[in-house]
Amino acid sequence: MSVLDKFSLDGRRILVTGGNQGLGKAFAFALADAGARVAIAGRSHDRNEAVVREASSLGHRIVAIDADITDDESVVAMTTAVVDALGGLDVLVNNAGACYHAPAFEVTDEQWDGVFDLNVRALWKCCLAAGGHMKENGGGTIINIGSISAMIVNRPQMQPAYNASKAAVHQLTKSLAAEWAPFNIRVNAFAPGYVKTDMAPVDRAEFQRYWIEDTPMRRYALPEEVAPNVVYLASDASSFMTGSVLVADGGYTLW
């Protein structure tokens, strides 16, 4: 096997949660480009179907599943649907997430619970559902999408709930990696820096000074620029890697 062959995902069956927009969509397309059979899950049927149509125009077949992963029964049904549609599940990309910008004294209980329900609890339930299938079928790979917000305090906006939730994702990744290694299940996290998506308004003037000028590379990333990192984590090129947090942030966390 050549070095480049190790990055191939031919035949891999992969689920991307929150795969109908932003980073999740870029991950899904990059994984399909690398040869994987990809399913996406999201709450919006219309956005799901739009991704399916766009993928088809590029020569890829992506399966879309309508699912609300904050509901436990929906997580089980989603996992079953993916296994049925793809014939199994080799890789889970836990991408779905939410963020609120608000200083601590202004964060409502509803906002706090909403962030943790999706970013942590739903991710945990997806890990259990996919991990159970992987354990019974010889192994697999789980990629949790974390953030540099688990390592730093973003400014000028405060977002304590999001930061805490992503720190939890990183630590959960390590815990599962240690526990599930005997089952041949690798669990890693990917922590991007500032990437231009609807969730990260990198073009807004009030954020330029801190988000862009404080980045050593002095720019933000595009989703398709960071997506190959997820391809690497899903592939045999990272076969001796588990419990790690892969950072791609233009150097932001160096300061």
Q: pLDDT value at position 124?
A: 98
Given the residues 100, 162, 220, 252, the one annotated as active site: 162
Residue 220 bears catalytic tag: no
Take residue 41 and report the two structure tokens written for it. Answer: 């899950």
List of the chain residues with pLDDT < 50:
none
Q: pLDDT value at position 200?
A: 85
Q: pLDDT value at position 1?
A: 81
Q: pLDDT value at position 32?
A: 98
Q: DSSP for 6-61, please give it.
A: GG--TT-EEEEETTTSHHHHHHHHHHHHTT-EEEEEES-HHHHHHHHHHHHHTT--
Q: pLDDT value at position 152?
A: 98
Enumerate domains of the chain plus CATH numbers. Answer: 4-243 (3.40.50.720)
